[in-house]
């Protein structure tokens, strides 16, 4: 019998080793109590490890993919040549057997053999000894390509030691400009810039050209093409002071109301600038309160006086107030409704809205109003009790705020003006709402005063 050449012995030896068919349970590492595979499994998720194949180490990257509902993930191996094999499927080609390691069992290719179904044909089938050994990849396999750095970058053999890495942006902060929180208050701590806060409307330029000196006493000025007079009472420190306008009644004068309203006392005790304009004499009841009368001359006088006071003293624009009695109360009502862009609060003595006189129009913001009247006997040409309460009703319906005081003594001022008027006015700043009195009136208020 002819002796076979020695070069075929490895093939026969591989065939002899593979002849006995075995199941997954016979493989090392199978079963729940079996030891781990003879080849240490150092390939964990996201790592690379060498595996013996043809006597050479090939680098493989391992990723986990789900194998279906209710099953544990399988592993997919992708070598650097681009060929991929599933953990439950046999390789498409058989590598040559290294004689030095022919006595060892082949290493499992899909991770832990216990994850593969028992009795699978691929795991129990041995190579056919009649076939010549494969000299390389199957011609049907994909043609090897250059490794793609973005997919599987070349790596060193796997090691359990932690490799030093370059510091990332999270390891050390990049040099930046000092942050506000380190050098000063943050935007949430700092107050909003004054320029961005809502405020009264800008004043129009003075219509008379160059402002006169706004000193204490009677001041003459040109306004809307007319010569006008106002009586000014200054406090000890007029700079940045609030301003209160007082409009006299029909048949009255500014010097008379300086006495009746005690404006000198108001200026000194409350630190405000008091302005008492004299009427132009062009209208039937001093001020243009009737519906058919042009409001221009006295509306312009109001802004002209404010502009010159602001130029001279730098007034507190957010605390400008107006008040008046009878015809002056009607004119203050018109200013409150039509020029509320400049006014923070109003006190009326027998004012309001009435048919044939001042009609209601919504103010630009819910301006607070304190309105007093003398009851059913408060009647001179107009029923001022109804006019006062009609104004209060309209303001409340317009989401505004009003306090009404019915003193019941007819057409007169009745109250001590400084102590009645000034605490209410100075409690309000332009644009701030609701009124601090919305929560209720304390015992210092007259009993006839109610929040409307």
- In the predicted model, is pLDDT for residue 89 greater than 50? no
Q: How confident is the model at residue 348 (pLDDT cuts 50, 70, 90)?
A: very high
Q: Which of 76-80, 114-118, 160-164, 349-353 has the highest mean pLDDT?
A: 349-353
Question: Using 50, 70 and 90 to split pLDDT, how confident is the model at 198?
Answer: confident
Which residues does 371 contact at the CB level (< 8 Å), separation at least 6? Answer: 347, 348, 351, 352, 388, 389, 391, 392, 402, 403, 404, 405
Residue 14 confidence (pLDDT): 44
pLDDT mean over 153-173? 43
Neighbours of 309 (CB within 10 A): 25
Strand positions, DSSP E, 212-344: 217-223, 226-233, 243-247, 273-277, 320-325
Q: What are the residues facing 406 on neighbouring strands? A: 373
Q: What is each CA distance from 253 to 75, 234, 381, in whole angstroms?
A: 102, 19, 20
Peptide bond into 327 cis (omega under 30): no
pLDDT at 9 (0 to 100): 45
* Confidence (pTM): 0.59
pLDDT at 309: 98
Cβ partners under 8 Å of residue 285, min gap 6: 250, 327, 381
Q: Are 298 and 288 spatial neighbours (Cβ–Cβ below 8 Å)?
A: yes
Measured CA to CA, the distance from residue 359 to residue 338 in angstroms comes to: 10
Inter-residue contact 321 to 346 (CB < 8 Å) = yes
Q: Which fold has domain 217-451?
A: Rossmann fold (3.40.50)
Over residues 257-270, the pLDDT tens digits come to: 999 999 999 999 99
435-450 tens-digit pLDDT: 999 999 999 999 999 9
Quick one: CA torsion of 308, 311, 316, 320, rounded to 10 degrees? 10
Q: How many other CB atoms are there within 10 angstroms of residue 275's CB atom? A: 25
**Cα→Cα distances 297→3, 224, 281, 310, 321, Å:** 135, 6, 11, 20, 19
pLDDT at 190 over 60: no
The Cα 44–Cα 390 span in angstroms is 85
| pLDDT per residue as tens digits for the range 95-135 | 344 433 333 333 434 444 334 333 333 333 444 434 444 44
Q: Which residue has the higher pLDDT, 55 or 225?
A: 225
> Using CA atoms, how far apart are residues 41 and 49, in angstroms rounded to an integer?
8
H or E element, residue 401: strand 401-406
For 214-224, letters b (16+ CB in 10 Å) and e give beeeebebbbb
State the CB neighbour count (10 A cutoff) for residue 347. 27
DSSP H helices in 158-315: 180-183, 254-260, 263-270, 296-313
Domain ranges of the chain: 217-451
Q: Mean of the per-residue pLDDT values for the chain?
A: 72
- pLDDT tens profile 372-385: 999 999 999 999 99
Place of tokens 């795991």: 123
């Amino acid at each position: 019998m002819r002796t076979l050449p020695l070069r075929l012995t490895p093939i026969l030896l591989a065939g002899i080793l593979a002849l006995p068919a075995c199941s997954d349970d016979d493989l090392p590492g199978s079963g729940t109590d079996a030891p781990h595979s003879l080849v240490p499994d150092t390939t964990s998720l996201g790592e690379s490890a060498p595996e013996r194949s043809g006597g050479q180490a090939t680098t493989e990257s391992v990723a986990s993919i789900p194998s279906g509902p209710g099953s544990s993930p399988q592993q997919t191996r992708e070598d650097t040549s681009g060929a991929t094999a599933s953990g439950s499927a046999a390789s498409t080609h058989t590598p040559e057997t290294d004689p030095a390691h022919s006595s060892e069992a082949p290493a499992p290719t899909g991770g832990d053999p216990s994850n593969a179904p028992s009795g699978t044909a691929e795991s129990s089938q041995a190579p056919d000894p009649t076939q010549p050994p494969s000299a390389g990849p199957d011609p049907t396999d994909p043609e090897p390509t250059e490794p793609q750095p973005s997919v599987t970058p070349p790596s060193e053999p796997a090691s359990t030691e932690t490799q030093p890495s370059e510091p990332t942006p999270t390891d050390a902060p990049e040099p930046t400009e000092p942050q506000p929180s380190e050098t000063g208050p943050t935007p949430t701590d700092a107050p909003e810039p004054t320029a961005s806060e809502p405020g009264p409307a800008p004043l129009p330029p003075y219509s008379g050209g160059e402002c006169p000196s706004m000193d204490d006493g009677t001041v003459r000025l040109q306004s809307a093409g007319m010569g006008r007079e106002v009586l000014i009472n200054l406090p000890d420190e007029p700079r940045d002071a609030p301003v209160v306008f007082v409009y006299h009644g029909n048949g009255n004068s500014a010097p008379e109301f300086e006495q009746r309203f005690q404006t000198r006392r108001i200026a000194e005790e409350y630190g405000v600038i008091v302005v008492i304009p004299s009427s132009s004499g062009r209208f039937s009841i001093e001020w243009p309160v009737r519906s058919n009368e042009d409001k221009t001359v006295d509306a312009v006088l109001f802004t002209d006086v404010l502009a010159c006071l602001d130029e001279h003293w730098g007034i507190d624009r957010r605390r400008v107030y107006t008040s008046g009695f009878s015809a002056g109360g009607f004119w203050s009502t018109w200013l409150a409704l039509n020029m509320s862009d400049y006014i923070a609060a109003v006190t009326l003595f027998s004012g309001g809205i009435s048919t044939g006189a001042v009609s209601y129009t919504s103010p630009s913001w819910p301006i607070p109003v304190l309105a007093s009247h003398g009851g059913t006997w408060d009647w001179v040409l107009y029923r001022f009790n109804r006019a006062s309460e009609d104004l209060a009703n309209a303001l409340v319906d317009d989401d505004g705020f009003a306090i009404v005081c019915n003193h019941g003594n007819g057409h007169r001022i009745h109250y001590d003006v400084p102590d009645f008027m000034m605490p209410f006015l100075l409690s309000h700043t332009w644009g701030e709402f609701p009124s601090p009195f919305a929560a209720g009136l304390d015992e210092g208020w007259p009993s006839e005063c109610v929040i409307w």
